[in-house]
Amino acid sequence: MPSYWLMKSDVEDYAIDGMARDKRTDWVGVRNYQARNFMRDLMKEGDLAFFYHSNAEPSGIAGVVKISSPAKPDLTQFDKKSKYYDEGATKENPRWMLREVEFVKKTKFVSIADLRDIPACKNMGVLQKGSRLSITPVTEGEWKAIQSLL
């Protein structure tokens, strides 16, 4: 049984067109423990995720990606020149883990306002007030309700 996810990307940093061009990418830069734990412990290879544009006008779902690797260290945590550098992380004991994701498709854009209009989606993490988690689980019911709009 696959699980489903929603993964936010700041649209100015990395949008669906970059994902489509790259085909695969390491999901670098997650620096929140709960989001890390989802990637490290709960994601499975083959799981599908919505690619979500945050800080966009408007924000919303722009595509689908597939989890395509086991959990592995996010190498940017060791890179002093990276904005994601973390001086508390060591190669022996990495703090931040990531997954590689594979481009599946660009979808019809589903804005956050559209999502709010879907009754089956009202409990989605991304819709909760003050939600800042960059990776959230999506239920099968939510996934299917959104699929039916694409």
Partner DNA sequence: GCCAACGTTGGC
Residues that bind DNA (CB under 7 A): 8, 10, 31-34, 54-59, 112-113, 126, 129-134
Task: Output the smallest distance, CB 33 to DNA, in A.
Answer: 5
In this complex, which beta carbon is closest to DNA, that of residue 48 or of residue 56? 56
Nearest-angstrom CA–CA distance, 48 and 124: 16
Task: Output the smallest distance, CB 129 to DNA, in A.
Answer: 6
Task: Output the smallest distance, CB 118 to DNA, in A.
Answer: 14
Is the peptide bond prior to 58 cis by the omega test (within 30 degrees of 0)?
Answer: yes
In this complex, which beta carbon is closest to DNA, that of residue 23 or of residue 128? 128
**Dihedral angle computed from the Cα positions of residues 4, 20, 77 and 45, in that order, rounded to the nearest 10 degrees:** 30
Amino acid at 60: G
- H-run or E-run covering 107: strand 100-111
